[in-house]
Each structure stands twice: as structure tokens, then as C-alpha cells.
């Protein structure tokens, strides 16, 4: 039987092709020792910027379709998530360039791994077949394992990479086993064919077991309680720029695949998975926020904060309607920008002796470094959900969608958790402006690329907070048709 070669519309694959081409260019130029490694960072930014522009144009033009026998789906949903991934990549590379220079690190492989992880995220969002989603997930995860342990001479970084690798391997096994069970129950791994195979009356134990194993696999990737144990240690030990990256794009990618599979492949099991997500949302918000209060290390605090924010996104998923999906997508975009901004401010607070990672190190920062304190305060206030920041807008639409779906108690618990989170975010602000430093610290000079990244994040946080329709409308137009 002759092999049939599918017709390929290369224009539909343009964002992924741009990232793949950028990866090859960065790899080629990294071979030349005479070229400044900072140039590789700018190449990465330019490539991601072009892919972002292409994704926006395709989104505005309604350029949609499927490729490779409907295994790869390009629609407004995947294009919107492409924008989240690429914005996250650009911001992380901007805050990474000076961070790597300070330690004289090898930069070429670093940027290559970030591009590989970005490509994996894009595959996850566009995967219309469970195996494609799994391949994208593993491409992203393997890159992140190496990045978490990238500073090999640092015991904390090596430990973070090893923990992430071991626990990630277990999570991938659960996810793959879930795929196998769903295949056993439906005879296919295609998302639309799974939806057709599962009727409203067909709720066999095999399918339900497969569904819950997928929840476990995704739960690890997005740090949902009780699958969150890896996050605090990895965030603390990994390079700060990588902690920012892990908390942003990969979390959005996990939720993108989560939404695609559960909303398009398993709509007839909605009662079961929605009930499970309600419980997980309550646990995730509460555990993340309560434990964050006790943290004295700011990276661990942001790790538990990241867990709590995954719980807020789950509130949108429990609504299981267009408002819930669009609000979750908007929230993920906002969260990526403000969390990378917060980590960028932490890097900017670096002293001559090293990074300022203890919350007590920020005492008196409001007078010693007023601009930096203002940036960090803005990001923390947005994470807490204060108006007129983007964080307030994100929470408002998440809660609004849940109320519309009848989940009143879940919204009440979410509101209580928002109040709890305000305590530990404001504690850092109070430390910066109302406490005197125990000792005089010598701060490193501001790096231009890092400041650019922070300015972009700050403008995004304020702009979406004041004009939410700028991103809410595209998110609403990106919901599954």
C-alpha cells in the first residue's frame, strides 16, 4: 500500500515554523565563539516577536484549519494561547540577558531550551490528538527539567532539576496511562472522535479512570493541590528567570491542553470532571494561600502564590461554558505578565552579595530604590487583585463566570482566599516602605534589558486593568466554536 503524503498548508503552521527556524539560527550562531552571546538573546526575542505578530494576524484574519489528518488544529483558541506563550518567552528572555551575563553563564543552550519549550507549548495548544498533546508536553517538560538544573555548580539548582525530573516522569506516566485507558474505552485518541464515541449514557469505569488519570497528569504540570509538592522546591532552587518561566508559559500550556481535551473530547463526562474540579479548586486556592503566609523566602512565597492562582483558573473551568473558558484564558494571560514582572523585580533587587531572596532583605527598599519598589508593589498588588490592575479584572471575570454557572459557594471561597492572599502580598509592600533595613546593602546597577521587560509588564498590567476589553474581546472570540 503506497504511503499517502498529506497536503500541508504551511501558512497555518507559520508561528511554529518561525520558532523552529529561530531555534536553528540560534543554534548555528552559537557555534561561533566570536559572536557575543547576548546577540543570541536578541535573536530569540526577534524570532518570538515575529511569531507573535504572525499569530495576531492569523487571529484577526480568522485563519483556521486542521493539518496532518486533523491531528493539528489551528483555531482562535490555539492562536490566543500562542500569544500568551510568546509574550512569556519575550519577557523571560529580556529579564534573562543581564541575569546570565552577571554569572558568565553559557547562554546558547539556555535560549535553545527556552525555544524548544515554547515550541512544545504551541504543540500542546494546537493538539487535536492526545498523542500530539503528549509529545508537546514532553518536549516542553524535558526542556524545563534541564533549565531548572541549568546552574550545575549550584547545589540548589541541581536539586531542583532532579526533583522536577523525577516527579515529572511520574506525572507523565499517569497522563500516558490515562490516554491508554481512554483509547481502550473509545478505540481512538483523536479529540473529535473521542467526543463522538462517548455518549451521555456511556460512563464506563474505564473512561472515568482514564479521565481522572488525565486530571492527575495535568494537575502536576499546572501545580494543582495535591499534585503541587514539586513547585516550592523547584521555584526556590531553579534560576530565578526559569522559575518565572515555569510559572507562566508552561502553566498556561497545561491549561490550554486541559481545556481542549475536557471541553472538546469529554463534554459528556462534564458532570464528573466538573465536580472533581470544584473540589480541586477549593483545595488549591486554600492550601496555596494559607501556606504562602508562613513563607520567609520570596521565591517560595511566589511558588505557593502560583499554586493558589491555578485554583482561580480552575474556577473558570468549573463553569464549563463560554464565559468560564474566556475568563480563564484572560486570567492566564494576565497572570503570566504580572508574575514574570514580579520575578523580574526580584532579579533587579540583586545586591553585590547575591540575590535578595528573603522578604526581610526588602526592608527600606522604598527609600533606597523607589523605582524598583514601585514596580514590585504594582506586581504584588495586581497578584492580590487590587483595582485598577489587571489582576482585579482577571478575578472579576472568573468570579462572574462562576456565579453565572451557579457556583456561588465556590466564588465565596475564592473571595475569602483573595483576602487571605492580600495579607502576604501586602506584607512585602509594608516591608519595603515601613521598615528600616538591618544593614546597608550595595545594589547592583539596573540592567537595560531587565528594565525594558519590567516596563512592558507594568504597562500591560495597568493597560488591561483600565481597558479590559483590549484582551477580553479576543479571549471571548477564541472560545471553541
Q: What is the pLDDT of residue 416?
A: 93
Q: What is the pLDDT of residue 441?
A: 57
Q: What is the pLDDT of residue 372?
A: 85
Kindly report whether the global pTM for this prediction surpasses the value 0.75: yes
Rounded Cα distance between 130 and 53, Å, is: 28
Structurally, the chain folds into a number of domains equal to 1
Q: Average pLDDT, whole number, for the chain?
A: 86
Q: Is the pLDDT of residue 202 over 70?
A: no
pLDDT tens track for 57-73:
988 887 778 788 888 88
**Chain centroid to CA 27:** 25
Q: What is the pLDDT of residue 103?
A: 45
Stretch 290-304: mean pLDDT: 89
- The torsion angles phi and psi of 101, rounded to 5 degrees, stand at -60, -40
Q: What is the pLDDT of residue 266?
A: 85
Q: Tell me how far CA of residue 319 lies from CA of 215, 313, 400, 449, in angstroms.
A: 17, 11, 10, 40
pLDDT tens track for 142-164:
999 988 888 877 788 888 888 88
Residue 317 falls within a domain, yes or no? yes
| Structure confidence at residue 19 as a pLDDT band (50, 70, 90) | very high
Residue 3 falls within a domain, yes or no? no
Residue 6 falls within a domain, yes or no? no
pLDDT tens track for 354-363:
666 778 888 8
Q: What is the pLDDT of residue 119?
A: 94
Rounded Cα distance between 258 and 252, Å, is: 10
Residue 2 falls within a domain, yes or no? no
Specify burial of residue 477 (Cβ count, 10 A radius: 0-12, 13-18, 19+): middle
- Residue 156 lies in domain: 14-476
Q: Are residues 478 and 358 in contact, defined by beta-carbon separation less than 8 angstroms?
A: no
Residue 177 falls within a domain, yes or no? yes
Amino acid at each position: 500500500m503506497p504511503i499517502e503524503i498529506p497536503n500541508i498548508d504551511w501558512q497555518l503552521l507559520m508561528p511554529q515554523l518561525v520558532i523552529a527556524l529561530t531555534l536553528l539560527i540560534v543554534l548555528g550562531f552559537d557555534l561561533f565563539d566570536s559572536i557575543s552571546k547576548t546577540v543570541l538573546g536578541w535573536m530569540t526575542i526577534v524570532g518570538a516577536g515575529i511569531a507573535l505578530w504572525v499569530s495576531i494576524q492569523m487571529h484577526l484574519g480568522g485563519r483556521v484549519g486542521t493539518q496532518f489528518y486533523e491531528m493539528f488544529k489551528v483555531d482562535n483558541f490555539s492562536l490566543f494561547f500562542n500569544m500568551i506563550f510568546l509574550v512569556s518567552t519575550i519577557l523571560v528572555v529580556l529579564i534573562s540577558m543581564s541575569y546570565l551575563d552577571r554569572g558568565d553563564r553559557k547562554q546558547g543552550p539556555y535560549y535553545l531550551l527556552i525555544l524548544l519549550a515554547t515550541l512544545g507549548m504551541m504543540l500542546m495548544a494546537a493538539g487535536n490528538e492526545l498523542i500530539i498533546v503528549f509529545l508537546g508536553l514532553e518536549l516542553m517538560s524535558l526542556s524545563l527539567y534541564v533549565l531548572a538544573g541549568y546552574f550545575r555548580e549550584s547545589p540548589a539548582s541541581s536539586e531542583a532539576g532532579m526533583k522536577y525530573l523525577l516527579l515529572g516522569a511520574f506525572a507523565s506516566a499517569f497522563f500516558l496511562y490515562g490516554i491508554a485507558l481512554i483509547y481502550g474505552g473509545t478505540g481512538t485518541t483523536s479529540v473529535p472522535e473521542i467526543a463522538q464515541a462517548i455518549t451521555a449514557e456511556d460512563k464506563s469505569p474505564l473512561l472515568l479512570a482514564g479521565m481522572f488519570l488525565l486530571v492527575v497528569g495535568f494537575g502536576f504540570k499546572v501545580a494543582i493541590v495535591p499534585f503541587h509538592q514539586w513547585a516550592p522546591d523547584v521555584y526556590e532552587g531553579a534560576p530565578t528567570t526559569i522559575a518565572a518561566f515555569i510559572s507562566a508559559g508552561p502553566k498556561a500550556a497545561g491549561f490550554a491542553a486541559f481545556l481542549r481535551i475536557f471541553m472538546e473530547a469529554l463534554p459528556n463526562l462534564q458532570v464528573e470532571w466538573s465536580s472533581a474540579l470544584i473540589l480541586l479548586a477549593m483545595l488549591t486556592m486554600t492550601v496555596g494561600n494559607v501556606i504562602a503566609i508562613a513563607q520567609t523566602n520570596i521565591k517560595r512565597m511566589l511558588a505557593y502564590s502560583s499554586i493558589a492562582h491555578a485554583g482561580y483558573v480552575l474556577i473558570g473551568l468549573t463553569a464549563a461554558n463560554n464565559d468560564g473558558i474566556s475568563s480563564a484564558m484572560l486570567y492566564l494571560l494576565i497572570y503570566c505578565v504580572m508574575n514574570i514582572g514580579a520575578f523580574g523585580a526580584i532579579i533587579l533587587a540583586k545586591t553585590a552579595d547575591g540575590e535578595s531572596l528573603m522578604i526581610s532583605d526588602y526592608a527600606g527598599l522604598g527609600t533606597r530604590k523607589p523605582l524598583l519598589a514601585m514596580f514590585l508593589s504594582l506586581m504584588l498588588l495586581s497578584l492580590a487583585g487590587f483595582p485598577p490592575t489587571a489582576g482585579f479584572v482577571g478575578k472579576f471575570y472568573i468570579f462572574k463566570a462562576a456565579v453565572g454557572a451557579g457556583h456561588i459557594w465556590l466564588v465565596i471561597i475564592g473571595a475569602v482566599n483573595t483576602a487571605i492572599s492580600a495579607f502576604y502580598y501586602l506584607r512585602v509592600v509594608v516591608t519595603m516602605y515601613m521598615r528600616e533595613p538591618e544593614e546597608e546593602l550595595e545594589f547592583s546597577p539596573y540592567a537595560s534589558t531587565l528594565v525594558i521587560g519590567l516596563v512592558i509588564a507594568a504597562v500591560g498590567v495597568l493597560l488591561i486593568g483600565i481597558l479590559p476589553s483590549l484582551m477580553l474581546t479576543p479571549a471571548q472570540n477564541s472560545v471553541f466554536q
